[in-house]
Amino acid sequence: MLTHASFLLTGSGHGRTFEADATYRPDGQAKPVVLFVHGFKGFKDWGHFPLLADFFAERGFVFVKLNLSHNGLVVGGTGDLEDLEAFGRNNFSIELDDIGQIIDALFNGHSPVPAAEMDLNRLFLAGHSRGGGLVLLKAAEDPRVRAVAAWAAIAQVPPQWPQTVFDEWVRTGVLHVPNTRTGQQLPLHYQIVEDYHRNRPRLDIAHNVRRKLRQPLLLVHGTEDETVNVAAAHALHALRPEAELLLVPGATHMFGGAHPWASPELPEPARFIAERTADFFLRRA
């Protein structure tokens, strides 16, 4: 039987509480650990992500996923995006620090997973979309990470919007992007761009993948991705030609998933990439 354990952390830099959970089979054996990072407008329990946790746990991993602190969710809230002011104050530096704090918690014994159940010498990162870009950046700065899988990952930040959009963003200080699933208009304060320029050596994906990322890398992308064009995967692969590139014919951005997800089974494209990712990690275990 699998164990599902939730825990809370408070951001050391921003003071906001955020939630994570771990799924594993408690057998007293030290297991490799996968830390999964959701994307823009996502959250740890979106759609089929809980089924992903079970999938990896059944294959001998401890699977940890988190709500990034400023993703719009509230601890004890509705379970969906509701704190739009926090969403607007988010930036890539905050997200990288959140991931680092989860990694520290695992190493420092501040998670509900007993130390005997984890082999932290086999710590792997997996991320989807914007989360894929984040795990590339985090692995480049944290040698505790053993290998990385980036699913439908962005290849650059900030987004390459037209200059007219940036001009209006500078003028008003806030840009609104639609959440088509909920009908919300999500604010993005211009500070996310300022943070990028202020911390560019840390946040430049191309520079970090080419110059600093040393861990084995798996790049996964659907050929019919409607949100992050498959060209992003080719661009990342060009930066790291020795990386494994897995293109999934016909797969879209969410690899068959949707929110909510009522089926007890993973969508087939998501199951396929989970299998290939688990195999990739186990070859590095």
Burial of 22-57, coded b for 16+ CB within 10 Å and e otherwise, reads bbbbeeeeebbbbbbbbbbbbbbbbbbbbbbbbbbb
pLDDT per residue as tens digits for the range 256-268: 999 999 999 999 9
Burial tier of 111 (Cβ tally within 10 Å: 0-12, 13-18, 19+)? buried
DSSP character at residue 276: H
Q: Give pTM, 2 decimals.
A: 0.98
pLDDT per residue as tens digits for the range 174-223: 999 999 999 999 999 999 999 999 999 999 999 999 999 999 999 999 99
- What is the gyration radius of the CA atoms in the chain, in angstroms? 18
> Which among 270, 215, 207, 199 has a CA at the least distance from the CA of 235?
207
Read off the tokens for 269.
Answer: 């494209």
Q: Worst-scoring range by mean pLDDT, 91-95, 154-158, 171-175, 230-234?
A: 154-158
Which secondary structure element, helix H or strand E, spans residue 220, and what is its range?
Answer: strand 217-222
pLDDT per residue as tens digits for the range 99-110: 999 999 999 999
With a cut of 80, say whether residue 285 has pLDDT above it.
no
**Residue found under tokens 């963003």:** 169
The domains of the chain, with CATH numbers, are 3-158+200-282 (3.40.50.1820)
pLDDT per residue as tens digits for the range 69-120: 999 999 999 999 999 999 999 999 999 999 999 999 999 999 999 999 999 9
Taking the C-alpha atoms of residue 36 and residue 131, their distance in angstroms, rounded to an integer, is 8
Give the confidence band of 158 by pLDDT, cuts at 50, 70, 90: confident
How confident is the model at residue 102, as a pLDDT? 98
